[in-house]
Structures are given as C-alpha cells and as structure tokens.
C-alpha cells in the first residue's frame, strides 16, 4: 500500500507532526519523511511547561519527545529552525524559508500561538506561555529556593493554562491574582456550575480571582527597550501592582503561511471528515478544523490527546485511497493539573446541559459530574477520579445514553 508516495513533508515539528511521522513508519511507509519546524528545538511536550517543568520539578529530559536515537530509528529528515513560508496545493510545491520544494504528500501541523495583550510587545515582565523558551523565562522570574523572584503575579485570563500557571506560582510562594473578563471563570468549557467549583479551588488556595472585569491598560516603567511592567489597570478602574504578568487569553492557529495556497482557511485549516484538506494534503492538531461526524459540527480542538490521535489519523489518511479513508470521530478529552488536583473532561459540556454530580463531592474537590440533556449523555468531568472518568469516557465513545451512564455511576459508590 504505502508505495503511492515517495516523500512526505510534515510542517510543524511538535506533537501532531511527530505522531504523524511515527504513524507513517508504523504503517510501513518507507519513503522520505521531512519534519520541518520553525522552533530551534526538537519536538517537546507542552503540558509540563505550565506544570512540573515550570515548577522546576522535572528537567528538559522529561519534556523532550524526540532524541537522536528516535530520529535515526524513524529515519527522519529533521529540519529545525526552518519555516514554511508558502504553499501551492495544485502544483504540489511547498516553500520553506522562501525556497520552493516539491512534495508528494503534506501534513500540516503548525499548531497555534498565544494571543497577546496589545501594547505589551517588548515589555519586560509580561509573558505568554506556549514554548519551552516562554516557560524558561517565566520560571526564571518566579520565586525559587535561594531567590526571591516575583512576589506579585497577575494571570490575565482564567483559562486552563493560566490556571495552571496560577497554581504553580502559588506553590512557588507568590501572591497570585487572576483576572477574567467573563463573569463565569472556566464557564465556556465547563459550564457555569462547574466553572464555579474550579474558581473555588483557586480561591481556597489564596488566589485573588476577579471576574467580569477586563484589562484596560498595562502599566510600565521606563521607555523604549527598557520598559518593565509595574501593574495593570482594570476596566473598573482598579490598579493591580505586578512584578510578573502571564497572559493566557487563548490562541490563534498558525495559518498565515497558507494564504493563497488554494486551501480553505477559516479559523484553522478546513478539512473534510477524514482530515483531508486537499488531495495529498492533510492537517492535524491545534491548526486543523474538521467536521467531527460524531457531532456533525466543524470543530478545532486544542488538546494533547487530539493532536496525538489526529496526527496519527491524518498520516493514515495520507496513505489511504479515498475509498479506504475513514472519518475522524473522537470524543474529545483533556486533563489539567492544578495544585494537587487532576481535572479531566471528556466529551462536551453544553451551557444548557443538566449537570449532575454522580459521585464524590465538589466541596472536597474530588468528584465526577455528568453533562447531558434529553436522555443524551454528552460529557463527563472528573476531579481526582481518573478511573471513573475513563470508564465514563468509554460510554461516551459507545454513544451510551444518560440512563446507561447513571447505571455505570450507580456501581461507584
């Protein structure tokens, strides 16, 4: 089967790209695989960057995903520090750092980058967190043994990465304020009720969480290249002093290089149900938008597990014929570690879903909650309940009903 193409190029040397490369080899592809990435680093894992790596509890060796041995084993043409600058889908030509090169098959896995606060470029003490360099910079600013570091940390945006940074900063001994423009922190993903539980978790650890208030202005000292953050002015007029500001207000997919390529780009690279964006071109991970037939909706998912599964799926799609191609229909799943709690969400939480805590208690921050409506079981949230979470996820995978889910939970007490 895998002889239809001689050379596959993968753009984006991170999680989805690496999984695509591994899967191509696992499926028996013997041609050349080029893995092109614009970071100077070999692929590494991002989740630890806001957790153990940021805390200094694990080193770089626990974050790196691709050592020299594996490069040789996979027989990869690894091209780091190289940026794809253009694409012509019809002509099967990719442009890397301005130089055209042909491809037989292409995997687009350029991920996403952080949104920034306007006017903060080059201001010392203001950070986003996406790369290992970002993590190193924030880690160097946090308090640590034998060093004072930033005492007052402000996290802008109560998203999951911001929440993890807040938790790591609290554990490091900083005073942390989290500012969220929406009224319901984490509500977009978890719904209002469970979002409030997570908000309580942070408050119980001493985080000053302010919701329903945006940031008006970043206050700085100095001019030009010498500017350093001193605080934030909030929309309600409050001034917050800050030594370190971490901005976690979401990401944007890296699609600019695809302008004029012939691909449809609409908040991500638009693919069909099988992850195909155009003949011989697939996309995966944070950059890909596809119709998940399970939900009949076009989605883009920014989770670790999705990058892994979609990277693998896209690689198989590239090797398959149109007749063999299978749709990519996963139940989304992610985890987040905050303080000593592990939060996991599988499936989806709709704002108007019924939410029922089926075991444990939210006061103790150890529970499982189901989301659903009209007899349908749509999602499950767990805090420090990985076993039950995965059992419930298996039901979601099978499309089980609300009653089936309750029957499973009845066995848990």
Partner 1 sequence: MRVVVDYDLCESNAICMQIAPDVFEVRDDDFLYVLDENPSEDRRAAVEESVQRCPKQAIAIED
Piece of the chain touching partner 1 by CB under 8 A; list 4-12, 236-244, 290-298, 381-389: 381-389
Of 372, 364, 383, nearest in space to 405 by CA:
372
Q: What is the phi/psi pair of residue 312, to 5°?
A: -65, -45
Any contact of residue 386 with partner 1 (CB under 8 A)?
yes
| Rounded distance between C-alpha atoms, residue 242 and residue 68, angstroms | 42
Say if CB 367 and CB 360 are below 8 A apart. yes
Any contact of residue 101 with partner 1 (CB under 8 A)?
no
- For the segment 271-310, give every residue that binds partner 1 (CB under 8 A): 304-305, 308
Any contact of residue 138 with ligand FAD (CB under 6 A)?
no
Nearer to partner 1, 257 or 333 (CB): 333
Token digits of residue 52: 């153990």
The CB-of-212 to partner 1 minimum distance in angstroms stands at: 33
Binder of residue 302, out of ligand FAD, partner 1, none (CB less than 5 to 8 A by kind)? ligand FAD
| Rounded distance between C-alpha atoms, residue 163 and residue 334, angstroms | 14
Region of residue 359 (left: phi > 0; alpha: psi -120 to 50; beta: else): beta
Residue choice 167, 254, 274, 309 for contact with ligand FAD (CB under 6 A): 254
Any contact of residue 83 with ligand FAD (CB under 6 A)?
yes
Binder of residue 129, out of partner 1, ligand FAD, none (CB less than 5 to 8 A by kind)? ligand FAD
Between 13 and 52, how does the x/- string for binding to partner 1 read (CB under 8 A)? ---------x----------------------x-x-----
Distance of CA 6 to the CA centre of its chain: 32
Measure the CA dihedral 255/261/265/270, to 10°. Answer: -110
Token digits of residue 240: 């917050």
| Rounded distance between C-alpha atoms, residue 98 and residue 197, angstroms | 50
Any contact of residue 338 with partner 1 (CB under 8 A)?
no
Residues making contact with ligand FAD (CB under 6 A): 11-17, 36-39, 46-47, 49-50, 83-84, 109-112, 129-130, 161, 254, 257, 285-286, 302-305, 307, 334-336
């Amino acid at each position: 089967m895998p002889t239809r193409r001689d050379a596959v190029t993968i753009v984006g040397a991170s999680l989805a790209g690496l999984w695509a490369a591994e899967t191509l080899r696992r499926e028996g592809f013997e041609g050349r695989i080029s893995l092109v990435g614009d970071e100077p680093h070999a692929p590494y894992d991002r989740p630890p960057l806001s957790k153990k790596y940021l805390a200094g509890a694990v080193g770089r060796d626990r974050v790196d995903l691709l050592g020299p041995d594996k490069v040789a084993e996979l027989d990869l043409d690894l091209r780091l520090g190289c940026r794809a600058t253009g694409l012509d889908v019809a002509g099967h030509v990719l442009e890397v750092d301005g130089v055209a090169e042909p491809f037989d098959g292409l995997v687009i896995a350029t991920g996403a980058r952080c949104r920034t606060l306007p006017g903060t470029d080059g201001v010392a003490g203001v950070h986003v967190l996406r790369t290992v360099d970002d993590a190193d910079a924030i880690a160097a600013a946090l308090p640590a043994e034998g060093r004072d570091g930033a005492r007052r940390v402000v996290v802008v945006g109560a998203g999951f990465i911001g929440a993890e940074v807040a938790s790591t900063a609290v554990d490091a001994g900083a005073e942390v304020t989290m500012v969220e423009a929406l009224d319901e922190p984490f509500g977009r993903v978890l719904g209002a009720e469970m979002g409030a539980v997570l908000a309580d978790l942070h408050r119980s650890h001493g985080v000053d969480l302010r919701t329903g208030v945006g940031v008006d202005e970043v206050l700085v000292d100095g001019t030009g290249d010498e500017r350093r953050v001193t605080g934030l002015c909030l929309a309600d007029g409050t001034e917050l002093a800050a030594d370190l500001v971490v901005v976690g207000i979401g990401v944007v997919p890296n699609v600019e290089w695809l302008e004029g390529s012939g691909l449809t780009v609409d908040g991500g690279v638009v693919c069909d149900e099988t992850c195909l964006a155009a003949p011989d071109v697939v996309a995966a991970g944070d950059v890909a938008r596809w119709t998940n037939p399970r939900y009949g909706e076009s989605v883009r998912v920014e989770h670790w597990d999705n990058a892994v599964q979609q990277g693998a799926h896209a690689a198989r799609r590239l090797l398959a014929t149109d007749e063999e191609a299978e749709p990519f229909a996963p139940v989304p799943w992610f985890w987040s570690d905050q303080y000593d709690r592990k939060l996991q969400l599988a499936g989806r939480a709709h704002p108007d879903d019924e939410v029922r805590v089926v075991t444990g208690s939210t006061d103790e921050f150890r529970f499982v909650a189901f989301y659903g409506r009209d007899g349908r079981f749509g999602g499950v949230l767990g805090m420090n309940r990985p076993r039950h979470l995965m059992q419930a996820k298996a039901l979601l995978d099978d499309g089980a009903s609300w009653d089936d889910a309750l029957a499973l939970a009845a066995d848990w007490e």
